[in-house]
Structure 1
């Protein structure tokens, strides 16, 4: 059976109820959702885990975007017998519709939930993560927006990025601070040279901002996440409101060039990892860590 025949069979299953389910899983693989879940982890559970996820996930989507533009496979939209829905979720790349391979939804969900499963190490969480990864991936076939090979490649790449990321993390923690600073500054700039397209500039910018912000936050702010749910909820609502305000506000104010995309996303990275924790402490939602305190998230996120 060819990939076209597989897609035709999947899209034949479309009906109003399954369309609604597929739209939910499509959202769970969109950039907007990742802008919710990653700051949530950083602000409300573990800054260290959130920052590591930040880096691994952004490197994964950087690789994904680079391959999409380099390989330039056309999406199955318009293929005879394939009924494509939720097309707006595919029109986000600068090279649409020649950006099918690999699937960003499959690779992004595999990276995010796969990494969290490796960190949490609970059977129920791993099962839930696998369910989400599979459901988000299959929703792209059901929607007729990706070829089956796009999905398979995205899942494999997500797994490889996680493995490589964990391998590097275990070794980089023993390096001196000045080397971590150097790596945090040089790597994003290197990524810009390799991939100076719109997507590459955005991801490199937010990596640079997030890296600078996290290193400063650890030493100058040292946020202690509060145990109380209402304080965590208030911090998240405050933080995410400003995040989306920056994203849309700076976009309207800055010129539409890749350089300013780099700057805009760099500002967002600094906000998430440094300025927001500082604001949480200034508003009394969180306090500074005491020297000998054990984070409330220690048991869940190691």
Structure 2
């Protein structure tokens, strides 16, 4: 399997794409690839959940973060090595290229995000915009020398399948289905904690569990109103995201450096985004 995923044609394609390299394209690719990173997703999901449509924000957020759990599991199972150090290939922005190579996490994340939006919003301009961004991020990962073409293709295919699965699940829930169906995702994810002992898997699993727990708390007990004025929405975003960063960075300084505490820290972030922040907004009269 690994021979297929690391064959020479992948290397030759990367080398060909990198023949077009220049300083402008380097910066452009680095900027584009940031749209597949966690801070971008946190900000966009926060805006949608807190300020636009919390029901869709939850569907989008849960689909995205559970997709990344799958990405982390597949990486740990297949253990496809990165191409760093391959003769004739230069690799840029490698600090954000963590773990194994297949499938591409950036590509799978951005493809899951936009395909979920496309399949639910169903507007032609969204379809066009999302498709262009997915293609650009995928190509940027190859151009930057951090992924093979097969890595980004794998990420896109997995995201397509997962968005379809999650749409079926959430459509079922929207029609009055039993919420326990989400345990079919949560339970295997938690079992994976005993198998895939990496920082990436523990953090994304923590967010997923926190998102699940927090949204159930919010939908039963808080029931905040996300549709408010532009000024209030800006305030909600600034306060909410600031506290996300405080939890992310502050607790990292306080907690011991063990995977379990990485899991707990990101679980708190998920709970804050889905119930803590909504509770605060409602309490101060902004929701």
Q: Tell whether the structures are fold-level matches, with TM greater than 0.5.
A: yes
Post-superposition shift, 1:219? 2.0
Is the 2:48–2:57 contact (alpha carbons within 8 Å) kept by the matching residues of 1? yes
Is the 1:205–1:266 contact (alpha carbons within 8 Å) kept by the matching residues of 2? yes
Aligned to 1:87: 94
In structure 2, runs of 5+ residues without a counterpart are: 1-7
Whole-angstrom CA distance in 2 between matches of 1:118 and 1:233: 27
Aligned to 2:144: 143
Post-superposition shift, 1:156? 0.5
How does the TM-score come out when normalised to structure 1?
0.86
Aligned to 1:23: 30
What secondary structure does 1:12 align onto? helix
Give the length in aligned residue pairs.
279
From 23, 40, 43, the equivalent of 1:36 is 43
From 47, 54, 67, the equivalent of 1:47 is 54
Structure that is richer in helix per residue = 2
Q: 1:74 to 1:193 in 2, by over 3 A?
A: closer
What secondary structure does 1:127 align onto? helix
Instruction: Give deviations 1:217-245, integer Å, cap 9, x for gaps.
Output: 11221111234212111111110000011
Post-superposition shift, 1:72? 1.5
Q: 1:182 to 1:147 in 2, by over 3 A?
A: closer
Q: 1:25 to 1:48 in 2, by over 3 A?
A: same
Aligned to 1:72: 79
C-alpha root-mean-square deviation of aligned residues, in Å?
1.9
In structure 1, runs of 5+ residues without a counterpart are: 287-302
Whole-angstrom CA distance in 2 between matches of 1:2 and 1:210: 40
Aligned to 1:122: 123
Post-superposition shift, 1:19? 1.5
Aligned to 2:63: 56
Aligned to 1:232: 233
Post-superposition shift, 1:214? 0.8
Aligned to 2:3: none
Is the 1:11–1:84 contact (alpha carbons within 8 Å) kept by the matching residues of 2? no
